[in-house]
Structure 1
Amino acid sequence: MKSPSVNDTGLPPFTLIGLPGLKASQHWVFLLRGALYTVFIVGNGLILFIVKEEQSLHQPMYYFLSLLSVNDLVVSLSTLPSVLATFYFHIKQIAFDTCMTQMFFIHLFSFMESEILLAMSFDHYVATCNPLRYSTILTDARVLQMGLFIGTTIGGSSIALPSEASPFCKANILSHAYCLYPDLIHLPCGISVSITSLAFVLSFVLDSVLILLSYILILCSVLAIAFQEEKLKTLNTCVSHICAVLIFYVPMLGVSRMHRYGRYAPPYAYVLMSLIYLFVPPMFNPVIYSIKTKEIRKKLIFCD
């Protein structure tokens, strides 16, 4: 007879900790997370609705923003089943194959967000450094090609990620309420760092370097502008994207460094970093773009 602790794959399930030491506050934490999920679902949903309905927003910049909103929704909603199970139904175990699937979606769409931010930086570069050729360089067909290229390359390169798992020889206890790759690779006899993993890391590094390079070129172009008012106006158009880049890369770096060097950190520190990593970007991106983008702000005010 098969042991109840082993699933159909023959591998034991994982145990999700949630918030250790705060059992009395689990319901409050669930309400907080519920509020966060509501905020980013409504915020990103409004962005998608406004871009779809407003004809003047049918431009490459807003197409990329729509992709970013869809991506933020998917990467965060992929954690919803295990969060509900852990904090509301007090189900701490997650099957091995379910955990691998969840990890796949979280990291697939995190990687895709990095690529979308890179495409948006290219959009800002063309708009700032080659404004007269903007409409000829970034045509609708070119934007569609970029979107398809991002989707196909990421899907193809990441499909091997869940297959890197190997049997675990001790308790499969995870530090979060969902499955994250940095958490899994530190389990005994767990996932080993492979070529696919290194490819992901190198891709993130390459994306960040190219984004930085684009802003160096943008800054050089802005400094060549004679009038101070025009300089500030041009730089102001990049503020939203710079904030989006920071709130994506900084928490991601924090999570990876926490698992690499934070072995003596309290358990709640891991949970806090994972909350920031998965909730801050999808919650703040629509807020930032609604405040800093005049066209979206006007539409929201009009709707109100």
Structure 2
Amino acid sequence: MTRPTSIAITMGDPAGIGPEIIVKALPAFAPRLASGELELVVVGARDCFGETAKRLGQAGFDLPSIDRSTPRAGRAVFLDAGQAAQPIRPGTTSAEAGRLAYRAIEEAVRMAVAGRVDAIATAPISKEALNLAGFHYSGHTELLADLTGARDSAMLLLHGDMRVSHVSTHVALAEAVKRLTPQRLRRVIEMTLDVLRKLGIEKPRIAVAALNPHAGEGGMFGREDIEVTTPVVAQFRDEGHAIEGPVPGDTVFVKLRGRRYDAVVAMYHDQGHIPVKLLGFSVDPKTGQWEALSGVNVTLGLPILRTSVDHGTAFDIAGKGIANERSLIEAVDCAIQLGAGRG
């Protein structure tokens, strides 16, 4: 009998919506858990999940507990990464919440590196809380790279056919320009090609977005697209890859949505995030409230598989019981698919 695919789900910042969307998402996986196809290991502070279940009107959070030495269980189980030393208030940034979020990630990474889980799917963290707790990272991607010893990594956002990787993410715009080097661009393209193949696309088509307006307009608006991007793209084309670029940023995502490409390599955080989130976030026009959040964040270049929700901690709605679990379900599904692609 084939063993189940095992995914660890980390709770994220316990003052955010992470515990809530995990509790809400678990029933969606019941058929695969029952059939033995899937094992889920929820990693976090059990007392935070108990409080969340109580707020949601459930009898309790009763997943059976495991510890570091427990073998694969073939069901939904819970690994307690540590209890809160002081009360966690929903929607409030604190060092204690940051500490608990870090501990959950650390435990999940340890399990993935040891091969006890096939991938991890993460709920959102607060970068401010993480830094208050003394863990000085600019985000999940950088933290995971450090924990796994990865020499470089990159972020990929997915929403349906919209797949966007990034040359840089959580840095100032001036720093993003400095980080566009031939070596970095080539590495991100290689990682993007790799993940597209794992997703079942045999001959990926990629567009590299321009850094500057109109791809620099012949050098009038900067020379990075001419001196860095153009030669790198030419190298990949010479190697037989279907790659275009630099493609102006104001049209490249329209072409991606029209399925001319399978993915876009974006130059910096907002260039890649805005189009994906614009399509993935559904808003009620009458109330202005988010109805659903769709999309997945994948970290490329790690020795483990990691996916995540494509949204933040949503402190403004934390504790109200109205958070939507759709993105987390998609993140777990994507982790399963990538695991099969790697195999």
Q: TM-score, normalised by structure 2?
A: 0.27
Structure with the largest fraction of strand: 2
Normalising by structure 1, what TM-score? 0.29
Whose RCO is larger (CA < 8 A, sep 6+)?
Answer: 1
Which structure carries more helix by proportion?
1
